Amino acid sequence: MTWRADVLTIFPSMFPGPLGDSLAGKAMEAGTWALQVTDIRDFGLGRHRSVDDTPFGGGAGMVMRPDVLDAAISSVADERPLIVLTPRGAPLTQKRVQQLAQGPGAILLCGRFEGIDQRVIEARQAEEISIGDYVLSGGEIAALVLLDAAIRLLPGVMGAADSAVEESFSSPLLEYPHYTRPAVWADRAVPETLTSGNHAAIAAWRLDAARQTTKIRRPDLYNQYIASGAQAP
């Protein structure tokens, strides 16, 4: 069954963008997923197809109107989760991406200006998701990030069937570092164990490298890993 993505945006020309190339592009051609983009301005008001207005309470910038957004949402809404991209949202995780990839698809609402009138988010019981603790100029790039992360997990999209199993965030550990030919480059040799052909030793080396990297770079993930019952190295 085709995984269906709908994007609501005032910049429809930004899609499919990078999702039209590489793995996602091929998967779209193969019918593994489909993208429909809706221009929110088609539901805008007046001669200028206006989608925003000044904020109640004052302050800088403009806010996207709930009535306009609600009409745009009505044009595509179904059983799929409705997601609003916003820095106020819950951080996007690999776990949520996996759940979304296993479902029928998603409807993504991209904010612009100062953001979206909160009432339409609540009335539509939309899920608010952030892609990180920084502020983008619009939700479109955040939507592309979420879609890219989900599409690569759809059945048949990735080359090696198990390449998603070991990668970062599939377990609480970050992934081990990678090396390829030449075995010595710029006076730097590949770690000896990796060229030994000893599969048990390679697995142990990779686990240790993943633990050490996670401990140093992401103590929050490392603590989760230890709490899950793993032994500290």
**172 forms part of the interface with ligand SAM (CB under 6 A):** no
Q: If binding is defined by CB under 6 A, does position 136 make contact with ligand SAM?
A: yes
CB of 8 vs ligand SAM, minimal distance in Å: 11
Q: Kindly tell me which of 108 and 174 has the beta carbon lying closer to ligand SAM.
A: 108
Out of 32, 86, 171, 214, the residue judged to bind ligand SAM by CB under 6 A: 86
The per-residue DSSP string of 5-60 comes to EEEEES-GGGSSGGGGSHHHHHHHHTTSEEEEEEEGGGG-BTTTTB-EEPPTT--S
Does 142 engage in binding with ligand SAM (CB under 6 A)? yes
**Binds ligand SAM (CB under 6 A): choice among 42, 114, 148, 175:** 114
d(CA 25, CA 20): 4
Task: Tell me: does residue 40 bind ligand SAM (CB under 6 A).
Answer: no
Residue bearing tokens 């939507």: 143
Give the number of other Cβ atoms within 10 Å of residue 154's Cβ: 18
Interface with ligand SAM includes 9 (CB under 6 A)?
Answer: no
Stretch that binds ligand SAM, among 3-11, 109-117, 162-170, 190-198 (CB under 6 A): 109-117
**DSSP assignment, residue 14?**
G
The identity of residue 102, as a single letter, is Q
Token code pair at residue 110:
């991209």
My answer on whether omega of the bond before 182 falls inside 30° of 0, hence cis, is: yes
Interface with ligand SAM, residue 60, by CB under 6 A: no
* Residue with nearest beta carbon to ligand SAM: 111
Q: Are strands 127-130 and 82-91 parallel, antiparallel or unpaired?
A: parallel
Nearer CB in complex with ligand SAM: 128/175: 128
Query: 111 vs 172, which CB is nearer to ligand SAM?
Result: 111
**Amino acid present at 40:** I
Residues that bind ligand SAM (CB under 6 A): 85-88, 110-112, 114-116, 130-132, 134-139, 142
